[in-house]
Structure 1
Amino acid sequence: MPVPSSPLRKLGFLTIGLFDPDDPRAGHESTLEIIQLGERLGFDSAWVRHRHLQHGISSPVAVLAAATQRTSRIELGTAVIPLGWENPLRLAEDLATVDILSGGRLNPGVSVGPPMHYEQVKSALYPDTADAENFSYDRVTRLLTAVRGEPVTDFSGIEGFEVFSDRVQPHSPGLGRRLWYGGASLRSAQWAGENGMNFLTSSVVKAEESENFADIQLSHVRAFRAHHPDGDRARVSQGLVVIPTDSATAEQKAKYEAYAQKRTPRTATPQGPARMMFAADLVGTSEQIAEQLYAHAAFREIDEVAFALPFTFDHDDYVQILTDIAGHLGPALGWRPTPA
């Protein structure tokens, strides 16, 4: 367990990549610059969220393709791609291509379920098949089959001057071991383990057997590993929002505290019919946040994290937060940056 004598092994961060709809390039450039900064600071991984019909990254695969050409070491992930919007076979081609371009650094995270606001978007997304679409785990299985290089057609060979393959091309051999499932329930944690995936614990979980967020997240970690072939060695990455203030200005500290205070009420009890529990945002000095993390039941059983950057802050705020995570919080958790 990560205690002061057992260091955090991998440190990553997650960004939503917001942009102004009247100037979308600036926001995308900011995201790429933040990823580059993460590499310079020694982070092990950078992850991007996925947003449809919003002012956030709608095509993380394309953004990460650009990031592969601006970085050389840092791992690049998605947290997460909602497969309800995707054709798994086509997505497998895109993921494999970006993984090849990155030199084997891509970590695709996915989830399943109907697209958000499906009734309003289905006629545009699936005009002829909306009522027949399968949004179950079968969609992930199709992606796993394609990415792992299993046959996706019964045809291969030469036709005229063209050569055809029965598996997705390009094939990136290591990519299948770097697929993650983002889960918020015990069922998802168990399914991900049974199917040999890695597991992203969500900062939003279902209150099934408890109403204590840390205990719920811990139950997911344990269920996943109990059903994974690698057992306790199976990879789990924890997601929480942390905002260290070591080098923050007084104005930034006030902004951060107001942000967390506004979001705190939703962390007290399960929300909505699905009884969703939200993680509390951790704001304070790195020493204070480290103390809170060591008291967190789920954190004590993982050795890699992808701390989420808040949604609505400015570029300079993200620079300050990432710099403090790498320079203060990470070392307080026993992590050491990877040299550039």
Structure 2
Amino acid sequence: MKNIGFLSFGHWTPWPQSQTRSAADALLQSIDLAVAAEELGVDGAYFRVHHFARQLAAPFPLLAAVGARTSRIEIGTGVIDMRYENPLYMAEDAGSADLISGGRLQLGISRGSPEQVIDGFRYFGYEPPEGMDHADMARRHTEVLLQVLEGEGFAEPNPRPMFPNPPGLLRLEPHSPGLRDRIWWGAGSRATAEWTAEQGMNLMSSTLLTEDTGVPFHRLQAEQIERFRAAWTAAGHTREPRVSVSRSIFPVISDADRAYFGHESRSQDQVGMIDGGRARFGKTYAGEPDQLVRELAEDEAVAAADTLLLTVPNQLGVDYNAHVLQAVVEHVAPALGWR
């Protein structure tokens, strides 16, 4: 069995050919797609976070709304850029969204990726302290977030408060028990995956790795997962970690599928440059269901992960994306033993 979810970037463009022409469309359709996915038996609804872009940004109102409209499906992010975050305020928001959903929040975070503006986090009021760069700052914000999610008191109470306090130091409220174990780090390299394990976070790996050793994408990602699990064991954590990978998978079973994605049937890995270094991008899987089953059976990273996130073309609308999810769940997943 494998958890299957969708991952939406929430793009919107005011173009006639887009089904998602405004920020309101992106938000409301994201909620509707999560509801439809739950009805189809999909396990997770995850959303990407980008700032200064025509995409989903502030995740917690959306997550809370999805949590209120659904009852079973996991809700999450993939990923929140921690360079932009106040970790204490974030802990309050995350605790609220998790409680509204009944403990279904799976919060993916990371140091961030190239953004729409130069050092956008500075506009949010964050400057790396002396001796740190932006990645160090993201990890420092993460350290604080993980600490306060433990639920231990740390703030000195006012001796004359407006309302009575419980005894001892105060923690942030609302506190959601168990949320600390449902934090994921979006790792782009094998070394970062090992660091993720040391921090006791679950591993989230996308269709992009910020390194390249010359081997196929899925094999490099499988090595990343293997190193994560070895580091987890070495760190002595007692719970079982979770691992997710993202894939673009489009079964071609209709004329619309063929028009949209038929040309992707010969997709291959790509190698490019990110932040001055070589990076490897995973291919798109598109084709007849039998073809996809054969190809995905050879994907070592998908086999190693417990959770698969399907990237969805959200601008094609809720109905079409629900069709894609249904096609994977009904025509591909059972043949691979995922269902």
TM-score between the two structures when normalised by the length of structure 1? 0.86
Partner of 2:203: 199
Query: Unaligned stretches of 5+ in structure 1?
Result: 1-7
Q: Which amino acid aligns with 2:245?
A: Q
* Offset of residue 167 of structure 1: 1.6
Cα shift readout 1:219-258 (whole Å, capped 9, x = no counterpart): 1101110111459942111111111123x3x233121134
> 1:20 & 1:297 partners in 2: Cα distance?
36
Q: Which amino acid aligns with 2:311?
A: A
Q: Summarize the Cα distance change of 1:320–1:172 in structure 2 as closer, same or farther, 3 Å threshold.
A: same
* Offset of residue 13 of structure 1: 1.3
Alignment map for 1:191-270 (pairs within 5 Å): 191-228=195-232, 229=236, 233-246=240-253, 248=254, 250-258=255-263, 264=267, 267-270=269-272
Name the SS for the 1:188 alignment partner: helix
Q: Which amino acid aligns with 1:171?
A: H
Alignment map for 1:1-340 (pairs within 5 Å): 8-20=1-13, 23-113=22-112, 116=115, 119=118, 121=120, 123-126=122-125, 129=127, 134-153=136-155, 155-156=156-157, 159-163=160-164, 166-228=170-232, 229=236, 233-246=240-253, 248=254, 250-258=255-263, 264=267, 267-272=269-274, 273-310=276-313, 312-336=315-339
Cα shift readout 1:153-186 (whole Å, capped 9, x = no counterpart): 3x13653332456222111111011111111111
> 2:26 & 2:227 partners in 1: Cα distance?
38
Q: Summarize the Cα distance change of 1:291–1:179 in structure 2 as closer, same or farther, 3 Å threshold.
A: same
CA contact (8 A) 2:196 2:203 kept: yes
* Offset of residue 289 of structure 1: 1.5
Cα shift readout 1:251-291 (whole Å, capped 9, x = no counterpart): 33121134677xx57x3334352211101000012332222
> 2:272 & 2:25 partners in 1: Cα distance?
37
Name the SS for the 1:135 alignment partner: helix
CA contact (8 A) 1:225 1:231 kept: no
Percentage identity across paired residues of the two chains? 29
> 2:178 & 2:66 partners in 1: Cα distance?
19
> 2:119 & 2:88 partners in 1: Cα distance?
25
TM-score between the two structures when normalised by the length of structure 2? 0.86
Partner of 2:17: none
Aligned residues: 322
Name the SS for the 2:300 alignment partner: coil
Q: Summarize the Cα distance change of 1:230–1:244 in structure 2 as closer, same or farther, 3 Å threshold.
A: farther
CA contact (8 A) 2:212 2:279 kept: no
Name the SS for the 1:50 alignment partner: coil
Q: Which amino acid aligns with 1:245?
A: V
Query: Unaligned stretches of 5+ in structure 2?
Result: 15-20
> 1:114 & 1:290 partners in 2: Cα distance?
31
Name the SS for the 1:141 alignment partner: helix
* Offset of residue 143 of structure 1: 1.0
* Offset of residue 311 of structure 1: 5.7
CA contact (8 A) 1:245 1:321 kept: no
Greater CA drift, 272-281 or 132-141: 132-141
> 2:338 & 2:160 partners in 1: Cα distance?
54
CA RMSD of aligned residues (A): 2.5
Name the SS for the 2:290 alignment partner: helix
> 1:224 & 1:81 partners in 2: Cα distance?
20
Cα shift readout 1:196-228 (whole Å, capped 9, x = no counterpart): 111111210022444421121011101110111
Name the SS for the 1:47 alignment partner: strand
Q: Which has the higher contact order (CA 8 A, sep 6+)?
A: 1
> 2:329 & 2:212 partners in 1: Cα distance?
35
> 2:182 & 2:74 partners in 1: Cα distance?
10
> 2:179 & 2:12 partners in 1: Cα distance?
30
Q: Summarize the Cα distance change of 1:325–1:113 in structure 2 as closer, same or farther, 3 Å threshold.
A: closer
Q: Summarize the Cα distance change of 1:315–1:112 in structure 2 as closer, same or farther, 3 Å threshold.
A: same
Greater CA drift, 270-279 or 179-188: 270-279
CA contact (8 A) 1:156 1:163 kept: no
Name the SS for the 2:175 alignment partner: coil
> 1:101 & 1:113 partners in 2: Cα distance?
27
> 1:88 & 1:235 partners in 2: Cα distance?
23
CA contact (8 A) 1:45 1:75 kept: yes
